[in-house]
A = this chain, B = another copy of it.
């Protein structure tokens, strides 16, 4: 956990945060004391979802903005969009995230075969983001495997680890702290080339949910406690 005694927690923009995964993270991080901005392509949608989340929180803790404004106002951007919107969203915030950390939650699923691992042209969504944004942005890959259903219920325990990959160890630590703040456990899984495992696991988990007739399968790394 970050040291909350000496400095305010950073501002986080959740781009595409009106979806289930982003909203769940927003709720948990706002509750943990982070300054959260929900980003959306449309101001109106950002505000509508923000109002719903603030009602759940019982306090006006979260703000809503268009994606570029949200990214500009934050020091950390978290990208939670369907893969079909990945490139366009990155284009819309490319300038705003320079010098910052971008945590990519995107999974390159290929509908309708969403339970089969599909590799995008750039190998992983996260590596595509890093290549597109350039070296001025520290891209971290995380949070692909946590059940959105469980995230959105702030009292539901998260029985799932967050595999964190990225080429900058300090940026990985930021994401590990954010996993802890969401009541999950962040695990340092090495360089961004390893993002392929977490992105691929989402397809596996979707298939396992179907095959085992459950809703919230997840993963745990064993042997490191």
Contacts and interface: CB of A to CB of B under 8 A. Distances in A.
Q: How large is the interface on A (under 10, 10 to 19, 20 to 34, 35 or more residues)?
A: 35 or more
This chain: how many copies in the complex? 2
A69 to B, nearest CB: 36
Interface string A47-85: 000000000000000000000000000000000000000
A204 B211 contact: no
Nearest to A123: B119
A190 B194 CA distance: 21
B219 A221 contact: yes
Contacts of A211: 188, 190
- In the A-B complex, the 5 residue pairs with the smallest Cβ-Cβ separation, listed nearest first, are A217-B223, A190-B207, A197-B200, A218-B222, A159-B222
5 contacts: A187-B208, A188-B211, A189-B207, A208-B224, A220-B222
